[in-house]
Amino acid sequence: METAIANATDIKATPGAEMISGGQIVAKMLKQEGIRHIFTISGGHIVDIYNGCIDEGIEIIDVRHEQVAAHAADAYARITGLGCAVVTAGPGTTDAVTGMANAFRAESPMLLIGGNSPLKQYRMGGLQELRHTEMMTPISKFASLVMTTDRVAEMMGIAFREMYNGAPGPGFLEIPHDIMDGKVEAPKVRYPKNFRVRGAEAGPPDFLGDPHIVDEVADLLARAERPVALFGTQARTCRAHDSIDRFARHFNLPIYVNGAARGTLGRSHSHGFMQSRKTAFDNADVILLAGTPLDFRMGYGRRLNPKAKIVIMDMDYRNVGNNRDFDFGLVGNLRTIVNAMCEASSGDTANKHDPFLRMLREDEERS
């Protein structure tokens, strides 16, 4: 293994050159991405990250169990747009599995960094040695072993890029002890900067989907008698609150929410509904589903009116058409798409959707 992968500490350094460790590189990349806190519980495999965080002014939140670290990083990610947990090898990383799985299902961009025994001791029975990457692959958007110290920053850039590709999600990096503590010449380290496409205000980038389909759906909503829309977690991911408010009023249609989209419209909003969802879906002639999978909560798409036109919009192409065929499908930023629909159509100028809204409001009052 040593002949195949030379550790950074084995590379002859220039005499007098400033050196930097893998843990310090990790901290610099975290700071560059805007991380101000990490959630962790101390372990020998990951101590060097702490040194780097102290140098970079990143606060170390010491918890009592790795489960807490992972769930806290997930929550931090949902609020700020990126969270990070750092856990030690073996049981430290396996304890974080549930937090990673939760973040994966919630489309939460948290980075989990796990230590491991030295790469030089691969399959020799090192302290708490496990193949963490294989465990994390099914419950993350990206999982990888970091094999050399000089590639730590590059691998973090790859992880961040994959975590934000389409719908966001968690990433995992396994950094062995000798890679973490290994040192390279500081001036030679390349820190990726413009390595992923970013949107305004730290949100996802604007991407529209097919503009012709956007126009068709806008026209369909305006002409429908009983249109209804359901927005899921990606409404929050896309910072689409104001756009959904505009969309609801423009097309004069009822809005339902689930997941992290709860709170998108206030309780007293004229177009915000909750208890009447079944009535709406049973009677709608157009159903728009945005940023929510057709999973168990939606009866896998089987509870929708079979006569209704189905429109599915999502940041992840894998959710468009899963469990239920659609009439119109769009992959893109929900905020961008609904704003474009408002521009493409004059909306419900005749208020012909009012009878449907009244029916649903009466149904809610009876609930």
Quick: pLDDT tens for 117-147: 777 767 766 666 678 889 999 999 999 999 9
Share of the chain above pLDDT 90, in %: 68
Secondary structure (DSSP) of 74-130: HHHHHHHS-EEEEE-STHHHHTTHHHHHHHHHTT--EEEEEEES-GGGTTTT-TT--
Span between the terminal Cα atoms of the chain, in Å: 67
- pLDDT tens-digit series, residues 314-331: 999 999 999 999 999 999
- In angstroms, the CA 249 to CA 255 distance is 10
Mean pLDDT of 189-206: 76
In a 3-state reduction of DSSP, which class is residue 66? helix
In this prediction, residue 90 carries a pLDDT of 87
Q: DSSP character for 272?
A: B
- Between 44 and 77, whose confidence is greater? 77
In a 3-state reduction of DSSP, which class is residue 29? helix
- pLDDT tens-digit series, residues 157-179: 999 999 998 899 999 999 998 89
Residue 153: phi and psi, rounded to 5, are -65, -40
Determine the residue type at 218: A
pLDDT interval class at 202 (50, 70, 90)? low
Indicate the average pLDDT of the chain.
Answer: 89
- pLDDT above 60 (res 362): yes
CB atoms within 10 A of CB 85: 32
Mean pLDDT of 36-52: 91
- Between 130 and 87, whose confidence is greater? 87
- Between 220 and 194, whose confidence is greater? 220
In this prediction, residue 13 carries a pLDDT of 63
- pLDDT tens-digit series, residues 275-311: 999 999 999 999 999 999 999 888 898 888 899 999 9
CA angle, residues 307, 312, 316, in degrees to nearest 5 = 155
In a 3-state reduction of DSSP, which class is residue 197? coil
In this prediction, residue 126 carries a pLDDT of 64
Q: Are 45 and 177 in contact (CB under 8 A)?
A: yes
In a 3-state reduction of DSSP, which class is residue 139? helix
In this prediction, residue 46 carries a pLDDT of 86
In this prediction, residue 36 carries a pLDDT of 95
In this prediction, residue 204 carries a pLDDT of 75
- In angstroms, the CA 128 to CA 89 distance is 6
Domains and CATH numbers, the chain: 8-196 (3.40.50.970), 211-366 (3.40.50.1220)
- In angstroms, the CA 280 to CA 305 distance is 9
- pLDDT above 50 (res 186): yes
Mean pLDDT of 73-97: 93
Q: DSSP character for 205?
A: P
pTM for this structure? 0.84
Q: DSSP character for 332?
A: S
- pLDDT above 60 (res 2): no
Mean pLDDT of 206-228: 92
Q: Which two tokens stand for residue 108?
A: 């939460």
- Between 198 and 249, whose confidence is greater? 249
Q: Are 129 and 90 in contact (CB under 8 A)?
A: yes
- pLDDT above 70 (res 12): no
Length of the chain: 367
Instruction: Classify 172 in phi/psi space as left (phi over 0), alpha (psi -120 to 50) or beta.
Output: beta
- pLDDT tens-digit series, residues 60-77: 999 999 999 999 999 999
Can you say how many angstroms the Cα of residue 87 is from the centroid of all Cα atoms in its chain? Answer: 20
- pLDDT above 50 (res 4): no
Q: DSSP character for 259?
A: G
Helix (H) / strand (E) element for 45: namely none
